[in-house]
Structure 1
Amino acid sequence: MFDIFEIRQERGVLGSEQKALGSDSLALIWVRFGQTSYRVAGQTMQLRKNDLLLIPSGLQAAELQGAGSIRESVVVRFSPADSATVRLLPILARRAPLRWVTHMPELLLEKLLYIVDQWSARDRYFSIMCAALLTELMVTISREYDEGEKAPSSIHHIEVMKRYIDNHYRGKITKLELGACIGVSPNYAASLFRKVTGMTISDYVHRRRMKTALYMLRHSQLTVQDISEHLGYSDPSYFNRIFKRITGKLPSDAIAERSDRE
């Protein structure tokens, strides 16, 4: 488990001043969009979309800001609650900053935004919930890092499968179809997809649908049933369960947000 000191989202155009991070804790930065740079212990590190940066405690670090740069990122400052956590997650014992590109951005985004929501809402027991969610996130990141760099051919296959899903996500998508689109067996396609993205094909399809559902619930006048059917769900109650599991809210919550803006 972890003690969390700060969780924040950084959005928009960067200003002219540096934004320092505290050196009394670890810092995890993930860039969702755009690019930025951090100065860590005298070293400048450039970060782009889907880059992760883990900064050990004890190092002076600051985001270098300049006019015209746009980025969206999530910053989490935290410390392990005990030595056992460091022993079980060796990535936390590093003395040098670690930068790498994640190939499971959809999964990390979901986990990070859920942590941000819990931290911002500050409901009862929120600190315990955030610590548990951060533990899950760091395990996911550690597993990806331990596996090392993926082969370029594997990354290419994943991008091809993702594009196929993006073009057909409203219908039923099978591993047979995905295997055919990259020229491998269905079982290999399913195994590769899960290994690289951290999700099953079905999980990814549901998340792609819920991304569209959230937008439609907020920005259209369609009913939940209309949107459910549009996205391939014949049972609205099943759609509601999937939406709640992935977004952490009910469709009615998103519709209420729609009403607030009108």
Structure 2
Amino acid sequence: MFDIFDIRQERGILKNEQSPLGSDSFTLVWIRFGQTTYRLAGQASQLHKNDLLLIPAGVPAAEMRDAGSIRESVVVRFSPADSAAARLLPLLARRAPLRWVTHMPELLLEKLLYIVEQWTARDRYFSVMCGALLTELIVTISREYDEGEKAPSSIHHIEVMKRYIEDHYRGKITKNELGGCIGVSPNYAASLFRSVTGMTISEYVHRRRMKTAVYMLRHSQLTARDISEHLGYSDPSFFNRTFKRIIEQLPSDLIAERSDRE
């Protein structure tokens, strides 16, 4: 479990200045869009989309805000609640900053944004909830890091499968289809997809559908049933349950927000 001191989302055009970070805690930086540069113990490190940066406590760090640069990032400052977390997670025993290019951006972004949501809402016990969610996030990152860099061929296969899903996510997608599109066995395709993205093929497809569902619920006049059918769900109740599990809201909640705006 972790104690969180601050969580913030930053976006927009950066100005010429330095943004120092506190050195008395760990800092986790996620670049969601664009690029930026951090100065870490006197050394410059440029970060791009889907890069993670873990800065250990005690390391002087500042974001170098170059004129004209655009980036969107999430920054979390935290410390382990006790020494057990540091002992169990080698990532936290590092003394040097870690820059890591994740190959499961969808999964990590979802977890990070949920932490941001809980931190911003500040409901009862929000700090405990955020600490638990951050623990889950750090464990997920640690597992990917422990497995090491993926082979370029594996990354290429994943990108091909993701593009196929992007083009066909409203229909049924099987491991047979994805195996065929990269020329490997269905079981190998499914195993590779999960090991790199952290999600099964089915879960990835559901999450891609829910991304479209959120947009349509907010920006169209379609009913939840209409959207359910559009996204390939024959059972509206299953669509509602899936939406609730992934988005943490019901479709009716977003429809209500739509009505409030009108």
**TM-score when scaled to structure 2?**
0.98
Aligned residue runs from structure 1 range 125-164, under 5 A: 125-164=125-164
Partner of 1:212: 212
Following the alignment from structure 1 to structure 2, what is the Cα–Cα distance between the partners of residues 113 and 257?
20
In the TM superposition, 1:236-255 aligns within 5 A as: 236-255=236-255
The letter for the 2-side match of 1:220 is S
2:233 corresponds to: 233
SS at match of 2:171: coil
C-alpha distance in structure 2 between counterparts of 1:6 and 1:256, whole Å: 31
Deviation at 1:249, TM superposition (A): 1.6
**2:181 matched residue in structure 1:** 181
Q: Which shows bigger deviation, 195-204 or 228-237?
A: 228-237
Within-5 A mapping of 1:97-112: 97-112=97-112
1:171 aligns with 2:171: yes
Cα deviation per residue 1:33-89 (whole Å; 9 max; x = unaligned)?
110111111111100000000000011111111221111111100000111100110
Question: Cα offset for 1:212?
Answer: 0.5
| Aligned residue number for residue 118 of structure 1 | 118
RMSD over aligned CA atoms reads 0.9
Say if 1:110 and 1:246, in contact at 8 Å, map to a contact too.
Answer: no
| TM-score normalized by the length of structure 1 | 0.98
CA distance, structure 1, for counterparts of residue 60 and residue 252 of structure 2: 45
Report the AA paired with residue 236 of structure 1.
Answer: P
Report how far residue 199 of structure 1 moved.
Answer: 0.3
Report the alpha carbon displacement of residue 243 of structure 1 after superposing the two structures with TM. 1.0
**1:256, CA displacement in angstroms?**
3.1
Q: Which residue of 2 aligns with 1:87?
A: 87
Q: Which amino acid in the other structure matches residue 97 of structure 2?
A: P
How far has the Cα of 1:245 moved from its partner? 1.2
Q: Tell me, what secondary structure is at the counterpart of 1:18?
A: strand
Note the residue ranges of structure 1 that are not aligned, 5 or more in a row: none
**Counterpart secondary structure, 2:113:** helix
Paired letter, 2:46: Q
CA distance in 2 between partners of 1:261 and 1:19 (Å) = 36
The structural deviation recorded for 1:16 is 2.3
Select between 66-75 and 208-217 the one with higher mean Cα deviation.
66-75
Q: Secondary structure at the match of 1:249?
A: coil
Q: Could you tell me which amino acid in structure 1 is paired with residue 121 of structure 2? A: A
Q: Which string of whole-angstrom CA distances, capped at 9 and with x for unpartnered residues, describes residues 171-200 of structure 1?
A: 000000000000000000000000000000
Deviation at 1:151, TM superposition (A): 0.3
AA aligned to 2:167 is: N
- 1: CA distance between counterparts of 2:174 and 2:122? 40
- The one-letter code sitting in structure 2 at the alignment partner of 1:232 is G
Query: Distance in 2 between the 1:248 and 1:18 partners?
Result: 37
Q: For residues 117 and 248 of structure 1, what CA distance do their matches in structure 2 show?
A: 11
Instruction: Give the deviation of 1:252 after TM superposition.
Output: 2.0
Greater shift in the superposed pair: 10-19 or 206-215:
10-19
- Following the alignment from structure 1 to structure 2, what is the Cα–Cα distance between the partners of residues 66 and 261? 37
Residue 195 of structure 1 aligns with which residue?
Answer: 195
Question: How far 1:260 sits from its partner (Å)?
Answer: 4.2
How far, CA to CA, are the matches of 1:139 and 1:120 in structure 2?
Answer: 23
- The answer to whether residue 29 in structure 2 is matched with residue 29 in structure 1 is yes
